[in-house]
A and B are shown apart, each in its own frame.
Chain A
Amino acid sequence: MPKVKVDGVEIDVPNGATVLQACELAGKEIPRFCYHERLSIAGNCRMCLVEVKPGPPKPQASCALPASEGQEIRTDSEMVKKAREGVMEFLLINHPLDCPICDQGGECDLQDQSVAYGRGGSRYHEHKRAVTEKYMGPLIKTVMTRCIHCTRCVRFSEEIAGVDEIGALYRGENMQISTYLEHAAKHEMSANVIDLCPVGALTSRPYAYEARPWELKKTLGIDVSDAVGANIRIDSRGREVLRVLPRVNDEVNEEWISDKARYQVDGLTKRRLDKPYLRRDGKLVQATWAEAFAAVASLNPGNSIAAVAGDMVDCETMFAAKALLGALGSSLLEGRQTGMDYDTSSLAAVNFNTTLSGIENADAVLIIGSNVRWEAPLVNVRLRKAVKKGAKVFLIGPEWDTTFGGEFLGDDLSVIGNLPDAVWETIRDAKRPAIIVGGAGLGRGGLEAALALGERIGLVRELEDGSKWNGFNVLHMAASRMGGLMLGYAQKGGIADLVAAAPRVVLSLGADEVDYTRFANSMVVYIGHHGDKGAHAADVILPAAAYTEKAGTYVNTEGRVQFADKAVFAPGDAREDWTILRALADAFGVSVGFDCFDELRAAMISAVPALGIEGLADYGADLPAGGGSAAGLIASPIKDFYMTNPIARASATMQRCSAELLHGELFAEAAE
C-alpha cells in the first residue's frame, strides 16, 4: 500500500494502482480519452498529464505511471494546466468544428473536456486533416475525421470482444481506424465501441440525427433480449423509445450490452398490437375492449384454463396470470414454450450458480449444448476472461466460433457420460471446475446426466480460502425463465401436460414460440405486444405492453432479482399486462386480490418473498443427484442471433443485421 500525496493530501493507494487511479481516489478529476478502466492502458492521448515528484521535471501521463511510495502528485499546478491546454490544442488541431451536426454533441468527452481544460480559443489557421469514411456495418456510423486516435475501439474488439476486426492503419497524422478492408463489424457486441468512442467518430447508425441527449428521458430498465438481464438505460422522447444504453453493473453486464439489446428497440414501434382483436369467421377483426372482454367472458372456461408465459414477460404479469388461474381453480402454468420438460423441483439445479462474475474465476469449464456467443454474448465475454486467466474450456455441441478457443468434444449428449480421459482428468483436477448447461443440453435427460457428472466432479465444494463454490450452471435464454420457475410456471411434463389437459382457454402471455396447432381445440387468448407468431394463432388478442412500457421484476439466469421502470406508455389502446389480467378476473367473475400495481407486487412478494429483494435469490447449494444417461444430437436452438424474439423480428435494424451479417446480403451505400 504505497502512500502518495495528491495535491498535498496524503492517501494510501492499493498496490499496482496507477497515478491516475491514485488521483481519482483522492477525488481529483483527471481528464482522459484513451484510458478506460476495462481496457488495457495505451497512454497515447496524453490528456491525463500530471506533475509527479520525484521524476523528470516535465508532466507525466498519469494513466501509465505506477503509483509508488512517497510520490508527490500535483493536479492543480500551473504546469499541469498548461500541459492540458497544450494537449487539448493539439487534439483539436485536426478535429472538425462540426459539433452542431455531430450526434455525440452533448455527451462528448472532447466537448466537455475542451470546455473544462482547454484554452478557450484556437490559434490554428492551417489546413485540417480530413479522413475518408470507413464502413463498419449497419450499426456503427463513422465520421473518421473526428477520430482522435485513442484506440479504445481497437482495444475493445481485441481484448473484450475477442474478434480482431478493428485496427489502426498507417501512422502518425495519417493514422486511420478501420475494419479490415472496411468489412462490417460482425461481433454481437460490436456496438459497444460507440459508447467507448470519446468523440463522434463512431456513433450509432440507427440513432443518427434522432435526438440530442438532453431531450431524452432516461429510465432505468432491464434488458429482456436474453436471460442475462443486462442493466440498461432506456432513453425516450415523448412516447417513443429512441435508444438503449448499458448501465454499469459489474455483477451482470459490466458496462456492455449486446447489439440485440441495444438495437431491437426500433421494433417497439412496428407491428404493434394497439387494438383488441377478435377472430370472426376465421379472420381477426378489430374490437373494443368491452367487446373483447365480453367475448372472453362468454368462453366461461371454469377451471379448464391454462397459461403459457412468453420469454420476455415480467414476474408481475406471470403472477397476475397465476392468481387469475388460481381463482378459477386451475394450475396449468408453463413457461418453457418449446416443450422442454426438465425437472424443476430444485431451482439450484437450473440456476447459474457460479454467478456471472464468478464464472471468470473458473479454471475448467465444460459447456454442454450452448452457443454462448448467441445465447448470452455477455457470458461469452466472461468466459473469455476466464480463459485469459488460464481456464480450460471444453464444449459439447455443434461447433461455433468461440473467440476464446476451447475444445469441441462432439455434438451428441452421450459425450456427457463418456468424456475423453484427458478432459475428465483436467476437470477432475481443477480447483474451481464449472459446468454450463445451455438450452439445447437441458432436455432428453441432459440436465440429469450433467448433474450426475457434477456430482462425480464435486462441483459444490469449499475452496482453499474457505469460500463456497458451486460450479453447476444452467444458462437460460429467456428473460422470464428463472422468474417463471420461481412462480411455478412449470409442469412435470412440460407443455405436453397442458396439451393433454385440453383446456378450453389458453392464456398466452406473449408466448410466440409455442406450437399452437397442438391447442387447436382451445381458445387462445393472446396478451402481448407484437403481431408475431402468437398473435397469428390467437382467437382473441388483448394488446399489452412491451418491456419498456411497464414496470416489472425480472430474474436473470443466475437468479438475480432486478427491477425495471416504465419508460413510455404503450401505444394505442394497449394496456399494461396486469391490468388486462385484473379486468379478465372481473369478466370471469372471480377475485384475484389486487386492484393496483403495488398491491399486485405486494401479493407477489408475500407469495415468493425472494422476488421482493433486489439481488441474488438463494436457492440453496444442494443439487439433486441426477443420474441416467442422455443421448441425442444437440442442435443449436438459435438459428439467427438477431431474430430471437418478436421485438427483434419487427426491428428494421435487426432485420438488416440478420440479412447483412449472417446471410451475407449486400447493401449499397447511399452514395453508390
Chain B
Amino acid sequence: MADRFIEPDTPELRARWGTFAWTEANAAKAKDIVARYPAGRQRSAVMPLLDLAQRQVGAEENTQGWLPIPVMEYIATYLDMPVIRVVEVATFYTMYNIAPIGRFHVQVCGTTPCMLRGSDAIIDACKARGMKKGHTTADGIWSFTEVECMGNCSSAPMVQINDDNYEDLTPERLNAVLDALARGETPKAGTQEPGRHTVEPSGGPTSLVAMVTENHDYRGEW
C-alpha cells in the first residue's frame, strides 16, 4: 500500500463534501458510540466514527465509502480534537479509504500461503475483468488492490470484498462471486468450497481423530 495518499484538498472537494453532516440515523449512532467512553475522553471514539463516516459517504455515493478531508474535519470538530490527529489515524489504518473508491473493493491476498494455493490465478481473473492494481474500473464498480495476509491461510486463496471474505477460491468461484455482486445479489460469504462450512480441515480431521465422536482421553497413549 505504498501508494496511499490523501485525496488533495481542492475547491471541488470542499464544494462536494464541505456540508457533510451525520444523517439522522448516524447521528444517533455517533452519539451512542461517543457515550461508550468516559466524559472528556470523547476522542477515543475517533476510529468507530471514521468508519461510520466512511460508510455514510459510501451510502451517499453508492461506493464502499472513503474519507474526504472535509469529512475528517467534521469528525475532528465533532470530537473536539485537532484535525491532524484524525488524519494521523485515518492514514495509518488501511481499512480507511483516503481516496475515492469503487462500489466493491476487491482485496486479493497475495501472501505466501495464498500464493502457494493459487492467488496468482485469482489476480489474473481479476485483471481479466478489467481491474488494475490500485485503480477503480471506469464504471466505478470494482476497485482492486493486492494486500498482505488477511489471516485466512487455512482457506486460501481468499479475497476480501467490502465487509466480507470469500475463501477457498478458484478463478471460476471468484467469477461467480463477482457476477453475483455485480447483479446486486449477496453471495454467501466465507468458504466457497462445497461441503465446507468454516475452516475445518478439508477431507475430515487428520489429528485428534478419536475426539470427533467422544471425549477421548489421549493421555495414556503419549
Contacts and interface: CB of A to CB of B under 8 A. Distances in A.
Contact of A171 (B6, B83, B91): B91
Contact of A180 (B2, B84, B92): B84
Contacts of B85: 164, 167
A174 B87 contact: no
B82 A170 contact: no
A168 B83 CA distance: 12
Nearest to A180: B84
A568 B88 CA distance: 46
A181 interface: yes
A375 interface: no
A180 B91 contact: no
A165 B84 contact: yes
What's the dominant secondary structure at chain A's contact region? mixed
Contact of A181 (B1, B2, B69, B82): B69
Contact of B84 (A166, A171, A174): A166
B97 to A, nearest CB: 14
A180 B87 contact: yes
B4 interface: yes
B9 interface: yes
A174 B9 contact: no
A170 B98 CA distance: 11
A164 B43 CA distance: 14
Output the residue of B2, B9, B84 with the most chain A CB within 10 A: B84
B99 to A, nearest CB: 13
B7 to A, nearest CB: 11
Contacts of A168: 88
Output the residue of B2, B83, B85, B91 with the most chain A CB within 10 A: B91
B84 to A, nearest CB: 4
Contacts of B82: 164-165, 180
A179 B83 CA distance: 10
A170 B84 contact: no
B88 A169 contact: yes
A171 B6 CA distance: 13
Interface string A614-652: 000000000000000000000000000000000000000
Contacts of A170: 4, 91-92
Interface in B53-112: 69, 82-85, 87-88, 91-92
Contacts of A166: 84
Interface string A286-300: 000000000000000
Nearest to A157: B84
Nearest to A171: B92
Output the residue of A167, A171, A179, A180 with the most chain B CB within 10 A: A180
Contacts of B88: 167-169
A598 B92 CA distance: 62
A181 B9 contact: yes
B4 A180 contact: no
Nearest to B93: A171
Interface string B1-36: 110101001000000000000000000000000000
Nearest to A163: B82
Interface residues of A, number: 13
B18 to A, nearest CB: 14
A413 B88 CA distance: 43
Contact of A164 (B69, B84, B91): B84
A167 B4 contact: no
B188 to A, nearest CB: 34
Interface string A164-196: 111111110110000111000000000000000
B13 to A, nearest CB: 11
A268 B2 CA distance: 47
A33 to B, nearest CB: 20
B11 to A, nearest CB: 13
A164 B88 CA distance: 12
B87 A169 contact: yes
B4 A174 contact: yes
A592 to B, nearest CB: 58
Contacts of B69: 181
A166 B84 CA distance: 7
A171 B4 CA distance: 10
Nearest to A169: B91
A179 B84 CA distance: 7
Interface in A129-180: 164-171, 173-174, 179-180
B92 A174 contact: no
A11 to B, nearest CB: 40
Contacts of B6: 169
Contacts of B87: 167, 169, 180
A174 B83 contact: no
Contacts of B92: 169-171
Contacts of B2: 173-174
B33 to A, nearest CB: 22
A662 B180 CA distance: 57
A262 to B, nearest CB: 24
A405 to B, nearest CB: 12
Contacts of B1: 174
A249 B9 CA distance: 43
A164 B84 CA distance: 7
Nearest to B72: A180
A171 B82 CA distance: 19
Interface in A190-242: none
B30 to A, nearest CB: 22
B14 to A, nearest CB: 12
A93 to B, nearest CB: 15
A170 B1 CA distance: 10
Contacts of A164: 82, 84-85
B3 to A, nearest CB: 9
Contacts of A169: 6, 87-88, 91-92
Output the residue of B2, B69, B88 with the most chain A CB within 10 A: B88
A180 B70 CA distance: 12
A437 to B, nearest CB: 32
Output the residue of A173, A174, A179 with the most chain B CB within 10 A: A174
Q: 4 tightest A-B contacts by CB?
A: A164-B82, A167-B84, A180-B84, A169-B91
24 contacts: A164-B84, A164-B85, A165-B82, A165-B84, A166-B84, A167-B84, A167-B87, A168-B88, A169-B6, A169-B87, A169-B91, A169-B92, A170-B4, A170-B91, A170-B92, A171-B91, A173-B2, A174-B1, A174-B2, A179-B84, A180-B82, A180-B84, A180-B87, A181-B69
Given A165-B82, A167-B88, A169-B92, 19 more contacts: A164-B84, A164-B85, A165-B84, A168-B88, A169-B6, A169-B87, A169-B91, A170-B4, A170-B91, A170-B92, A171-B91, A171-B92, A173-B2, A174-B1, A174-B2, A174-B4, A179-B84, A180-B82, A180-B83
